[in-house]
Amino acid sequence: MKLQTALTVLCLSAALVLIACSGGMNNSSTQTAPTAVITPAPQPAPQPAPTPVPAPVVNTAHVHSGASVGTHVYAAAAQPEAAFNWSLIPRAYAQTPAALSLSQSWNGTCASFAKSTQSTASVLIYGLGQSSDQACSSYYNDTNGSSAAMNAKDGQLVIGSGSLSNLVAWAAASGVKLSATASSGLIHIWIQRGSTTLDSGIECQLTNVGSYYRCSSTTTFAVLDGDLVVATLTSEVGDTISGLNVVFTK
């Protein structure tokens, strides 16, 4: 009995030693995994929120404003896609020019006219058909000024279409001597249109009125832009006129 108990105790002790050794071996072979260290990635610096851009305002009427030199802004409701033009080249828009028309007046003079040859002849009045003879001494053989008018080189320009009228002529009576004929002291207005000389029908004949010889006409004649106006004086042998003035208007 004692032997059996001793063997049992011995076996138990051996088993405990075996278990202890087995546990020690297992403990010695077990390794602990290293702990991983995770470094966070760097974060970007915060950016400011973008400033909202307001949408362009499209007006119903055209607007022109000089944003800078050579810069023009145009807006139109019908074409919003072409609301802005930032070209440095100024825009040029075609315009229909208004018809040019001026109120005009013309005047001419004969400083000292003396008719001593030919029975009836005409001269071009200085400033209204010729610009080189203030004395009006170059004669043309006609009875109403037609030959003189056709030879005029310095007619006065008509600017804008209209009607000639209001012919007035005068000279101091002390410097005038006229014969009593139908052609003596006759003032006549002519129109040069291209190569054609037109009779305007505007004329008057100097007559004595107190201290002046004078005449006038309200007859009108339609003229065109670019026409030239000419005035002639017709006289007889022995006629003299000093300081003659001729004026008419459009």
Q: For residue 122, give both structure tokens.
A: 């005409």
Residue 206 and residue 200 in contact, taking contact as beta carbons nearer than 8 Å? no
d(CA 224, CA 232): 20
Does residue 15 lie in a domain region?
A: no
CA distance 146 to 165: 19
Q: Which residues of the chain have pLDDT under 50?
A: 17-30, 58-82
- Asked whether residue 219 is domain-assigned, the answer is yes
Q: How far apart are CA 177 and CA 184, in angstroms?
A: 10
Strand blocks (E) in 57-185: 72-73, 84-85, 105-114, 120-124, 139-140, 156-157, 162-172, 176-177
Backbone angles phi, psi at 21, to 5 degrees: -65, -40
CATH code of the domain covering residue 240? 2.60.120
Place of tokens 């075996």: 18
Report how far apart, in Å, the C-alpha atoms of 47 and of each of 10, 53, 54, 96 are: 80, 18, 21, 57
The whole domain housing 218 covers: 105-249
pLDDT at residue 145, rounded to an integer: 92
* pLDDT tens sequence across 106-147: 999 999 887 767 788 899 999 999 999 998 988 888 888 999
- The per-residue pLDDT for 175 is 92
| Residue 18: DSSP 8-state | H
pLDDT at res. 143: 86
**In the chain, how many domains are there?**
1
pLDDT of res. 85: 57
What gap in Å lies between CA 138 and CA 153, rounded to an integer?
A: 13
| Other CB atoms within 10 A of residue 224 CB | 11
Residue 7: inside a domain, yes or no? Answer: no
Examine residue 92 and state whether it is found in any structural domain, yes or no: no
Contact predicate 169/244, CB 8 Å: yes
Q: What local confidence, expressed as pLDDT, does residue 15 receive?
A: 53
Is residue 242 in a domain?
A: yes
In sequence order, the 6+-apart residues with CB closer than 8 A to the CB of 103 are 162, 249, 250
In a domain, 24, yes or no: no
* 231 inside domain: yes
